[in-house]
Amino acid sequence: MNLNSTVAELMSTNIECVQPDQQIIDLKHIYEKEPFHQHVPVTENNQLVGIVSLIDFMRAIHNASLDDNEPVYHSILVKDIMSLHPVSIAPTTSLKDASKQIIEGGFHSLIVTENKEVKGIITTTDILKHFITQ
């Protein structure tokens, strides 16, 4: 196991971001794609400003159906449900340090940024896959 590998070697880089003023219908469409991450970065002017988890989204829609015409999808904005100031790490962060942050923070993923610009995401699943293939 190489704990000194960097998160840049494992992170997913093909991730979708949303902006605070978007309706949550846009989040719904991201979550409907395969595969999807359970956490969606929120950016403004290409800078990370928040994060929305699948749980945040599910709480916001309550018992709404998956029909895009449900009013809740058009009446709530991303900024209404996002968490501010998400923890992020640099692409050069070691897997060991990323793993420590995930454990200590109780996170399931970390957004990878460079100068606050989103570069990727690394999840507990990514790290576990790396360890079992070593």
Taking CB atoms within 8 Å and a gap of at least 24, the contacts of 25-30 are 25/68, 25/73, 25/74, 26/78, 27/52, 27/57, 27/78, 28/57, 28/61, 28/66, 28/68, 28/73
**Ranges of each domain in the chain:** 7-133
CATH of domain 7-133: 3.10.580.10
Evaluate if residue 3 carries a pLDDT over 80: no
Alpha-carbon distance 85 to 49, whole Å?
6
pLDDT-derived band at 101, boundaries 50, 70, 90: very high
Closest alpha carbon to 27 in 69, 74, 97: 74
Of all residues in the chain, the percent with pLDDT exceeding 70 is 99
pTM: 0.90
Q: Which residue has the tokens 């699943």?
A: 125
- The residue-averaged pLDDT of 83-104 equals 94
Residue 125 pLDDT > 70? yes
In the prediction, which pLDDT does 97 show?
Answer: 95
The string of pLDDT tens digits covering residues 32-54 is: 998 778 999 999 999 999 999 99
